[in-house]
Chains A and B, each alone.
Chain A
Amino acid sequence: MIDLSALKVAGPIYEPLNQPFWEAAAKGILCVQHCDACGKHVFYPRPICPHCWADALKWVTVSGTAWLKSFSEIWKPGHPGWIPAAPYFVGLVTLDEGPTMLSHIIVDGSDIAIGDRLIFTPTVIGGAILPCFRKETT
């Protein structure tokens, strides 16, 4: 497998609102927002809760366990910086806490299917540690 840390790719854009997410990932922690008013977890970060519109969002650490909602093996990347890594997998990852995020999926060979249990796997891509996922080993 190619060394993803060597890729020259577009990394995260740091904004005050999303900074806690990327900073936590850099420390190997997965954080999302949680609404103290309606109890729902929120991804991606918002100023107020998109479910109940309360101004009650706090950053919390989540379990890092998830399931694979869909995936694709990318043969022709949309960004040229990813060409050296192709083919690689991306997927829609539904966290056990509820929200769905898109992520890079680290796969052994082609052993991947919708419904797979996943585990948070911080991975260096380009110059940043990103919240990626791999299959949970039982």
Chain B
Amino acid sequence: MRHLTPRAAISGIGELKPVRKTDNVATMDLLMRVSAEALADAAISPDQVDGLLVAPQVGETPQHVPATVAEYFGMMPTMSNMVDLGGASGPGMIWRAAAAIAAGQCETVLCVLGNHRNPVPPKSPNRNPAREFDTPFGASGANTSYALLMQAHMAAYGCTPEQYAQIAAGSRANAQANPMAIFYGQPASIEEVLASPLVASPLHLFEIVMPVAGADAVVVTTAAKAAKGPHRPVHLLGAGEKITHRAVSQAPNLTSGPLKPSIARALAQSGLDIRQIDFLSLYDCYTIMVAATIEDAGLCAPGQFSNWLQDNGGMGPEARQPINTHGGQLGFGQPDLAGGMTHVVEAVRQIRGQTPHRQISGCDTALITGNGATMSEAVALILGGAA
């Protein structure tokens, strides 16, 4: 596999504070506000942006999304696209931005996602096999799919509910050091996680992300331009992506997902070993997702995630390899498709050294994972701070 020289770097980030509910807020407004934050952070003006990557769920805009967002922003990009990989969309944007820059089509790409939580969310008339062949039997929504994945993982390896619950408790603990997090001021012990209502066995309520309104934006540009910016540039060192299925019934494997080859590819491109990664920013829609990702990353054997977490010293900034210091989506909240981008933004902050009260000492490298649908759309990134 060919090694990637760092051709692109992250020079700006923006993130809105998540909120449980909004009233009459337009998604486009959230996207524009968070983009303004990211451009200010990169110390560039909007006319310097010539690439734009957006996600599909921009509420009022079901079609022609990139053009609609570009027009709203007053931009005329030379490269624009919609990245539709569910929770993997954010990380998926980063390598696509780098690839577009390497292809000479643009120099500075704005990657932006977010959504409102108005009382009546816009619903698209979703026609797909999951609707046709799962919904009639009483299975609708991601909770059921991840419950099926978790039940299979438990049965295969004999893991206990307490072992998964420690991931929710660890995420809540991390959220106590992030005032932006929706669960700031609300820690939860393993016992409290297990005492929360069963939603779809074996998943308890606190093992499931809280949907919130919010937005995240990232500016990706050339290494040369990033070096002139106000912050330590964060280079893309490697990326991997894999899509295996859509409906959980069609998953080729219930206990290991497409992140396994994605992480392997990203690491190979970076030339780093997983044990050399300073920060693990792992997509966590559910506790089972973190458990499966620790195992798919090769940090331990399948079924051994809990023992590994014990040896790792938990998930906090003092752990050997800290995990999701912003609280993860389990502690921070899931701002719709921007949820996956919160993991990128936190990794950039850690590598820059901008995370008071939760800073990892000597953080130079990070693994970011994105995951969509039913453990079926995967993106892994390796980021590294400029020397």
Q: Kindly state the separation between the CA atoms of A85 and B137 in the bound complex, as whole angstroms.
A: 12
B129 CB-CB contact with A under 8 Å: yes
Interface residues of A (CB under 8 A from B): 9-13, 15, 18, 44, 69-79, 82, 85, 87-88, 90-92, 100-104, 113-115, 125-126, 128, 130, 132
Q: B200 and A12: CB pair below 8 A?
A: no
| Residues on B with beta carbons closer than 8 Å to the beta carbon of A77 | 138, 140
Q: A74 and B132: CB pair below 8 A?
A: no
Q: Kindly state the separation between the CA atoms of A24 and B275 in the bound complex, as whole angstroms.
A: 54
Q: B35-43, B242-250, B349-357: which lies at the A interface?
A: B242-250
Q: A76 and B137: CB pair below 8 A?
A: no
B133 to chain A, nearest CB (A): 5
User: A72-B201, A102-B248 known; A78 and B136 CB under 8 Å?
Assistant: no
Of B127, B143, B148, B203, which is within 8 A of A70 by CB? Answer: B148
Interface residues of B (CB under 8 A from A): 127, 129, 131-141, 143-144, 147-149, 151-152, 155, 197-203, 247-250, 254
| Residues on B with beta carbons closer than 8 Å to the beta carbon of A126 | 136
Q: A13 and B137: CB pair below 8 A?
A: no
Q: Kindly state the separation between the CA atoms of A104 and B136 in the bound complex, as whole angstroms.
A: 9
Q: B133 and A102: CB pair below 8 A?
A: yes
User: A76-B199, A100-B249 known; A11 and B136 CB under 8 Å?
Assistant: yes
A25 to chain B, nearest CB (A): 10
Q: A79 and B147: CB pair below 8 A?
A: no
Q: A12 and B138: CB pair below 8 A?
A: no
B123 to chain A, nearest CB (A): 13
Of B141, B198, B247, which is within 8 A of A73 by CB? Answer: B198
Q: A70 and B149: CB pair below 8 A?
A: yes
Q: B152 and A74: CB pair below 8 A?
A: no
Q: Kindly state the separation between the CA atoms of A114 and B151 in the bound complex, as whole angstroms.
A: 8
Q: Kindly state the separation between the CA atoms of A78 and B201 in the bound complex, as whole angstroms.
A: 13
13 more A-B residue pairs beyond the given contacts A10-B131, A115-B155, A125-B136, with a C-beta to C-beta distance below 8 A:
A44-B132, A44-B133, A72-B202, A73-B200, A74-B200, A75-B197, A79-B140, A82-B138, A92-B254, A102-B247, A104-B137, A126-B136, A132-B137
| Residues on B with beta carbons closer than 8 Å to the beta carbon of A128 | 136
Q: Kindly state the separation between the CA atoms of A88 and B139 in the bound complex, as whole angstroms.
A: 10
| Residues on B with beta carbons closer than 8 Å to the beta carbon of A12 | 132, 136
Q: B135 and A79: CB pair below 8 A?
A: yes
| Residues on B with beta carbons closer than 8 Å to the beta carbon of A10 | 131, 135-136, 140
Of A79, A100, A113, which is within 8 A of B138 by CB? Answer: A79
User: A69-B254, A70-B149, A71-B148 known; A125 and B198 CB under 8 Å?
Assistant: no
| Residues on A with beta carbons closer than 8 Å to the beta carbon of B134 | 102
